[in-house]
Amino acid sequence: MDIPPTPQSERLHDRWVQHRIRQRVVGTLSVLEDVIYILLAVLFFLASLYIMADAVISANWHSITSLVGTTLDRFLLVLMLAELLHTLLIFLRTHRFRHQPFLVVGIIAAIRRILVITAQQVTDFGHALGPYLWDLGLTAGVVLALTVALRLSPPERGF
């Protein structure tokens, strides 16, 4: 049961909202929040560079199947990190949360999973096909659901 505010409690609340100490604390915490997001963005960027360099250095250049499988897997991971970095940059510019980049990251992750499942099936040729098909079907359903969610979400400028 909510108690209606009295004129005196509203005045106290308004005075507290306008108080200098509160405004400084909120301002300081806002700056610290931005610092956390900036550090996280830098870490995403550095991780992406490391993954790309490691993919090139550790690639098996003598086997095209292995080369395509590992580099594609790692570069899709880098693409996911780039989308997360993009999301952080949007938040730092606008201070508004947008859900579309997370849906795109989910779609990329599911497609990455589909490619990994397919590569596993090629290497495990003698094993039963059923579990792979269930995993593949479920992951394809996730891609479909995320795509529908992305399509149904309201369009936003800057995405």
Sorted by where each begins, the domain ranges of the chain are 7-152
pLDDT at 50: 95
Q: What is the rounded distance in angstroms from the CA atom of residue 117 to the CA atom of residue 90? A: 33
Is the pLDDT at 87 greater than 80? The verdict is yes
> Which residue in 100, 50, 102, 42 sits closest to 75, CA to CA?
50
Q: Which whole number is the average pLDDT over 78-86?
A: 89
Whether 74 and 47 have beta carbons less than 8 Å apart is answered as no
Whether 88 and 105 have beta carbons less than 8 Å apart is answered as no
pLDDT at 126: 65
> Which residue in 117, 111, 46 sits closest to 82, CA to CA?
46
Model-level pTM? 0.67
- Residues of the chain with pLDDT > 70: what percent? 90
Is the pLDDT at 46 greater than 90? The verdict is yes
Using 50, 70 and 90 to split pLDDT, how confident is the model at 13?
A: confident
In the chain, % helix, strand, coil (3-state, to 5) comes to 80, 0, 20
Q: What are the backbone dihedrals phi and psi of residue 103, each rounded to the nearest 5 degrees, phi first?
A: -65, -40
Classify residue 159 by its DSSP letter. Answer: -
Neighbour tally for 10: CB within 10 Å: 10
DSSP, residue by residue, 101-128: HHHHHHHHHHHHHHHHHHHHHHHTTTS-
Whether 111 and 76 have beta carbons less than 8 Å apart is answered as yes
Q: What is the rounded distance in angstroms from the CA atom of residue 108 to the CA atom of residue 113? A: 9
User: How confident is the model over 91-101, as pLDDT tens digits?
Assistant: 888 888 788 88
